[in-house]
């Protein structure tokens, strides 16, 4: 395998480009991380890309597939990030790559609003079949998650004739003006970027690890509903928007009963219940959609990320009568439902069905759960192991407290990177270490990646339970 700085293209001895599942599935470091070619590229990046765009690990990627990403220096890293829950079917997955290649040779763009094509319609048909609920559904296709959330709010406002939108503590919904208002965390997402869109209200989330006293899901929902009724008023409220498991905010799984109670209250008061499944959707949590876990049927659901195997595509899907409340021409955009992205989505969805990636996500969840619980036994800095399926995290705290330890989480993350494992952090307090592997990762590779995480805790100097007992 050779690599070249220009395209960083990896080829085999016959000059065939390597990528996708044809890449050797192993962790293999040939330079320090990042290596010299990556460092040279990063200098060019610093000179030419806005300083506002930061990079988690400046190892420049030449190829990726299965459970690995290969950098321009020839290092093969274990991928526990999947591009933030996007390449669930694997990078350059065969059906995605074939669909894209075919489509890109037929036509690349017409604008669906000018002259349409079948791929868009087919993706909407799949979405109607796969999303929760057996009611009549329709969709609109867009380019990004934030755009989907914006459109879901537009649709809910037209359908209800009301203005207000309720979101939750720790929520993440995007970086556009309306979705910045909906996102909870100030830095880096919002700081200095205001003024923000109005009529967005924030309700208390169910965050079991950080509740002062244990509280049931239904009670946490009641707490949120009281706030909504007193501070907003159901009659002014167009929609509640919630991530069934919060992503960027810290992989927060609300207490059982929280989501059903909110959804029921919405139905009773004519409020549109919008599930933001941009991170949780498309098999990530072990179901097609995370709402299914408690039998919640959202009125509208926003999807993106995993939908198209890495091509930019997003959607709002929901009750036909709500989706049709919008006047003709009210929804759209030049690229929304681009034919190449639609071909990718059809390939990705077929792959998820064929390989039963929801079952794969549950299996990955078992492996991660077992290893992370073992790790938490050893290190009292791990306050909680949580998540579902292939969306799991550990919350890192000062031992014996719930005080966030972002420093330790960051140190472990950096060590994983230098050891060739691509990991991510998240959380309002920056102290959550999260795992989002591609759903096609080999068991052995996943186990190896998690073993590196374990070693990283030791290397970062995290006290073991025995040591902290001695100190404390
Ligand atoms: N809703 C639940 O997770 C995107 C953001 C990364 P876009 N999450 C990754 C970053 O720092 O920008 C996300 C999400 C949920 C909405 C979005 C927004 O999706 O495709 O990034 O716009």
Domain end, chosen from 310, 335, 355, is at: 355
Statement to judge: residues 381 and 323 lie in one domain: no
What does the pLDDT read at residue 424?
98
What does the pLDDT read at residue 15?
72
**Alpha carbon distance 154, 148 (integer Å):** 10
What does the pLDDT read at residue 333?
97
Statement to judge: residues 274 and 420 lie in one domain: no
Q: What is the pLDDT of residues 383-436, one digit of tens each?
A: 999 999 999 999 999 999 999 999 999 999 999 999 999 999 999 999 999 999
Cβ–ligand 1 contact at 239 (below 6 Å):
no
Closest C-alpha among 298, 444, 285, 449 to residue 358: 285
Statement to judge: residues 346 and 229 lie in one domain: yes
Statement to judge: residues 81 and 164 lie in one domain: no
Quote the domain boundaries for residue 198: 96-355
Cβ–ligand 1 contact at 276 (below 6 Å):
yes
pLDDT above 80: residue 364: yes
Atom of ligand 1 nearest to the CA of 279: 3
Backbone angles phi, psi at 136, to 5 degrees: -70, 130
Statement to judge: residues 378 and 328 lie in one domain: no
**CA atoms within a 13 Å half-sphere pointing along the CA-CB vector of 199:** 13
Grouping H, G, I as helix, E, B as strand and the rest as coil, residue 81 is coil
pLDDT level of residue 7 (50, 70, 90 thresholds):
very low
What does the pLDDT read at residue 9?
61
Statement to judge: residues 309 and 453 lie in one domain: no
What does the pLDDT read at residue 468?
81
Statement to judge: residues 39 and 151 lie in one domain: no
Give the Cβ contact number of residue 100 at 10 Å: 22
Centre of ligand 1 from the C-alpha of residue 424, in Å: 14
What does the pLDDT read at residue 361?
99
Statement to judge: residues 248 and 261 lie in one domain: yes
Q: Pick the residue whose CA is nearest to atom 19 on ligand 1.
A: 145
Domain end, chosen from 355, 376, 405, is at: 355
Grouping H, G, I as helix, E, B as strand and the rest as coil, residue 446 is helix
Statement to judge: residues 191 and 327 lie in one domain: yes
Q: In this structure, what CATH number is given to the domain that contains residue 196?
A: 3.40.640.10
Q: What is the pLDDT of residues 155-193, one digit of tens each?
A: 999 999 999 999 999 999 999 999 999 999 999 999 999
Q: What is the mean pLDDT of residues 268-275?
A: 99
What does the pLDDT read at residue 8?
53
Domain end, chosen from 337, 355, 373, is at: 355
Q: Indicate the average pLDDT of the chain.
A: 96
Q: What is the pLDDT of residues 239-256, one digit of tens each?
A: 999 999 999 999 999 999
Statement to judge: residues 109 and 237 lie in one domain: yes
pLDDT level of residue 470 (50, 70, 90 thresholds):
confident
What does the pLDDT read at residue 10?
66
Statement to judge: residues 121 and 264 lie in one domain: yes
pLDDT level of residue 14 (50, 70, 90 thresholds):
confident
Statement to judge: residues 224 and 302 lie in one domain: yes
Cβ–ligand 1 contact at 304 (below 6 Å):
yes
Q: In this structure, what CATH number is given to the domain that contains residue 391?
A: 3.90.1150.10
pLDDT level of residue 5 (50, 70, 90 thresholds):
very low
Q: Under 8 Å CB-to-CB from 432, ≥6 apart: which residues?
A: 250, 251, 393, 394, 395, 396, 409, 425, 426
* CA 153 to chain centroid: 20
Count of domains in the chain? 2
Classify burial at 219, counting beta carbons within 10 Å of its beta carbon; exposed 0-12, middle 13-18, buried 19 or more: middle
pLDDT above 60: residue 441: yes
Q: Token digits for 455? A: 């070693």
Centre of ligand 1 from the C-alpha of residue 343, in Å: 22
Q: What is the mean pLDDT of residues 143-165?
A: 99
């Amino acid at each position: 395998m050779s690599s070249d700085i220009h395209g960083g293209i990896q080829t085999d001895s016959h000059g065939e480009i390597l990528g996708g599942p044809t890449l050797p599935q192993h962790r293999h470091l040939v330079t320090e991380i990042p290596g010299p070619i990556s460092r040279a590229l990063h200098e060019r990046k610093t000179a030419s890309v806005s300083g506002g765009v930061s990079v988690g690990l400046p190892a420049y990627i030449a190829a990726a597939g299965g459970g690995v990403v290969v950098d321009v220096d020839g290092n093969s890293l274990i991928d526990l990030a999947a591009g933030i829950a996007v390449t669930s079917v694997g990078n350059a997955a065969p059906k995605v790559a074939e669909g894209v290649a075919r489509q890109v040779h037929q036509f690349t763009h017409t604008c669906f609003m000018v002259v349409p094509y079948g791929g868009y319609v087919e993706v909407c048909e799949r979405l109607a079949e796969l999303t929760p609920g057996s009611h009549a559904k329709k969709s609109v296709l867009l380019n990004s998650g934030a755009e989907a959330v914006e459109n879901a709010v537009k649709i809910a406002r037209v359908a209800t004739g009301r203005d207000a939108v309720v979101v939750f503590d720790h929520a993440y919904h995007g970086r556009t003006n309306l979705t910045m208002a909906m996102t909870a965390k100030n830095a880096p997402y919002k700081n200095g970027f205001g003024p923000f869109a109005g009529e967005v209200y924030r309700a208390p989330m169910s965050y079991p690890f950080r509740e002062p006293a244990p509280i049931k899901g239904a009670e946490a929902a009641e707490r949120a509903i009281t706030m909504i009724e007193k501070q907003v008023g159901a009659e002014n409220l167009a929609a509640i928007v919630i991530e069934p498991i919060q992503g960027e905010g810290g992989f927060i799984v609300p207490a059982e009963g929280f989501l059903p109670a909110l959804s029921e209250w919405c139905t009773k008061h004519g409020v549109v219940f919008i599930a933001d499944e941009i991170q949780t959707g498309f098999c990530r949590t072990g179901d097609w959609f995370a709402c299914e876990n408690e039998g919640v049927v959202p009125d509208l659901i926003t999807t993106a990320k995993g939908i198209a195997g890495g091509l930019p595509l997003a959607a709002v899907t929901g009750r036909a009568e709500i989706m049709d409340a919008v006047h003709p021409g009210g929804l759209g955009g030049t690229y929304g439902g681009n034919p190449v992205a639609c071909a990718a989505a059809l390939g990705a969805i077929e792959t998820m069905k064929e390989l039963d990636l929801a079952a794969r996500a549950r299996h990955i969840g078992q492996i991660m759960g077992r290893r992370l619980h073992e790790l938490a036994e050893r290190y009292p800095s791990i306050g909680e192991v949580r998540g579902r399926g292939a969306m799991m995290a550990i919350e890192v705290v000062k031992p014996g407290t719930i005080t966030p330890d972002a420093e330790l989480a960051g140190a472990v993350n950096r060590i994983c990177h230098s050891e060739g494992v691509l990991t991510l952090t998240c959380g309002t307090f920056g102290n959550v270490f999260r795992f989002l592997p591609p759903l096609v990762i080999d068991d052995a590779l996943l186990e190896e990646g998690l073993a590196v995480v374990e070693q990283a805790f030791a290397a970062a100097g995290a006290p073991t339970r025995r040591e902290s007992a001695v100190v404390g």
